[in-house]
Amino acid sequence: MSTIDLRTVTIKPLRHTFTHVAERIGGDKPATRYQEGTFDIQATHNFHYRPTWDPDHEIFDRARTAIVMKDWYAFRDPRQFYYGTYTAARARQQETAESNFAFVESRGLVSALPEAVRHLALELLLPLRHLEWGGNMNNAQICDYGYGTAISQPHIYKAMDHLGIAQYLTRVGLLLADETALDAAKQQWIADPKWQGLRKYVEDSFVLKDWFELFVAHNLVLDGLLYPLVYERIVDDDITMKGGSAIAMLTLFMTEWYGETAKWVDATIKTAAAESPANAQQLSQWTREYLQRGVRAIQPIARHALGANAEAVLGDIEDQFKSRVAKLGLAL
């Protein structure tokens, strides 16, 4: 089939993109919206005043982390998220989540859940609302202190993702039980011994000063242990096998979100580690330290949910995590 070109008036542009973008993409050629909306948007010099809340630093300051980069725009989000692509991606996912919630509700699948499964799901998922709130805080903190839009931008998206996940977990709670279950879960989060390791891990992360260390502690290690444990091994495998596939439908957002987000986390670690042996060493050291603490923190949850099988599953998760970070250039 032949095509006919529609005639439009053609005028020759003076340039194809902004100068600072052209410098980063190897010359004056059409740039993507991710590139134009990201490159060099954060101010870097000639700041007017130092923060009254942190007079030792500039407003944006490379010295807020031990990680050193020659160019902080070496980082790329493999998802190419700027606001438009980010909201489009999440809008699609929330549509699926919405129809899953509607399906579970309209088919009465909750009342079909075995009581033990319903109980376990509530016990396991609802205290995580608070952990997700911690994820919101920590990612807001990284967005605040991070250097360069390429790395700070994805953190506001991730901060809001954690809030969104906390809200999905709330809906699961309201669907499987009622408001009182939310209060009970908060009590567990605060006082139940099996949650204290995780709560301490998160509270300790709230006071970290180095934002890249915080990235390792929360986004690489904590997410990297907890999501595989909770959503893949407990919900998708164990709970589903025991007749709780409705729970897996209600948490599909989390499973997919983790798969997507981990790719960006990996790309970030890989870029920072490849920059210099010093970076790789620092990242490895942090990862080692937080991995040890993280595994200890999730142990009681795994044991509670998986019983005798817990040690084997935890061993798997730890091994998978280690081989994942080895591919990124870290030596544990």
Partner 1 sequence: MDMPVAKKKLGLKERYALMTRGLDWQTTYQPMDKVFPFAKYEGIKIHDWDKWEDPFRLTMDAYWKYQAEKEKKLYAIIDAFAQNNGHLGVTDARYVNTLKLFLNGISPLEYMAHRGFAHVGRAFPGVGTRVACLMQSLDEIRHSQTQIHSMSNYNKYYNGMHSFPKMLQRVWYMSVPRSFFDDAVTAGPFEFMIAVGFSFEYVLTNLLFVPFVSGAAYNGDMGAMTFGFSAQSDEARHMTLGLEVIKFVLEQDPDNLPIVQRWIDKWTWRGYRVLTLVAMMMDYMLPKRVMSWKEAWEVYFEQNGGALFKDLARYGIRPPKWLDQIEFDKDHISHQAWSTLYQYGGASNFHTWMPSDEEMDWLSAKYPNTFDKFYRPRFEHWRDEQKKGNRFYNMTLPMLCQTCQIPMIFTEPGDPTQTCYRESTHKGMKYHFCSDGCKEIFDHEPEKYKQSWLPVHQIYQGNCFNPGVDPTAEGFKPLPVVLDYYGVGFGRDNLDFEGSEDQKNFAAWRGAATTNV
Binder of partner 1 out of 72, 75, 168, 215 (CB under 8 A):
168
Q: Which residues contact 298 (CB under 8 A, 6 or more apart)?
A: 197, 198, 225, 226, 229, 314
Binder of partner 1 out of 29, 63, 78, 83 (CB under 8 A):
83
- Which residues 116-135 are close enough to bind partner 1 by CB under 8 A? 129-130, 132-133
Name the H helices within 146-251: 149-176, 179-191, 193-206, 211-214, 223-227, 240-241, 245-250
Instruction: Report the nearest approach of partner 1 to the CB of residue 201 (Å).
Output: 9
Distance CA 303, CA 270 (A): 33
Q: What angle do CA 68, 72, 73 make, to 5 degrees?
A: 155
- Which residues 245-304 are close enough to bind partner 1 by CB under 8 A? none
- Which residues 34-73 are close enough to bind partner 1 by CB under 8 A? 36-37, 40-53, 59-60
**DSSP character at residue 330:** -
Interaction between residue 7 and partner 1 (CB under 8 A) = no
Interaction between residue 316 and partner 1 (CB under 8 A) = no
Letters for 176-215 (x = contact with partner 1 by CB under 8 A, - = none) are --xx--xx--x--xx--------xx--xx-xx--------
Closer Cβ to partner 1, 164 or 228, answer by number = 164
The structure tokens 């904590």 sit at 222
Cα 129 → chain centroid: 14
Angstrom CA distances, 292 to 70, 195, 197, 241, 288, stand at: 31, 17, 12, 30, 6
Binder of partner 1 out of 66, 79, 87, 252 (CB under 8 A):
87
Closer Cβ to partner 1, 6 or 308, answer by number = 6
Please state whether 286 falls in left (phi above 0), alpha (psi between -120 and 50) or beta: alpha
Site stretch for partner 1 (CB under 8 A), options 88-96, 220-228, 236-244, 271-279 = 88-96
261 contacts 161 by C-beta, under 8 angstroms:
yes
The first and second tokens of residue 317, run together, are 């998760």
**DSSP character at residue 244:** -
Number of residues that bind partner 1 (CB under 8 A): 85
Letters for 95-114 (x = contact with partner 1 by CB under 8 A, - = none) are x-xx---------x-xxx--
Closer Cβ to partner 1, 133 or 322, answer by number = 133
| One-letter amino acid of 96 | T
Closer Cβ to partner 1, 59 or 278, answer by number = 59
Closer Cβ to partner 1, 94 or 309, answer by number = 94
Instruction: Report the nearest approach of partner 1 to the CB of residue 238 (Å).
Output: 23
Binder of partner 1 out of 1, 3, 5, 19 (CB under 8 A):
19
Instruction: Report the nearest approach of partner 1 to the CB of residue 295 (Å).
Output: 18
What sign does the CA torsion over 23, 28, 29, 30 have? positive
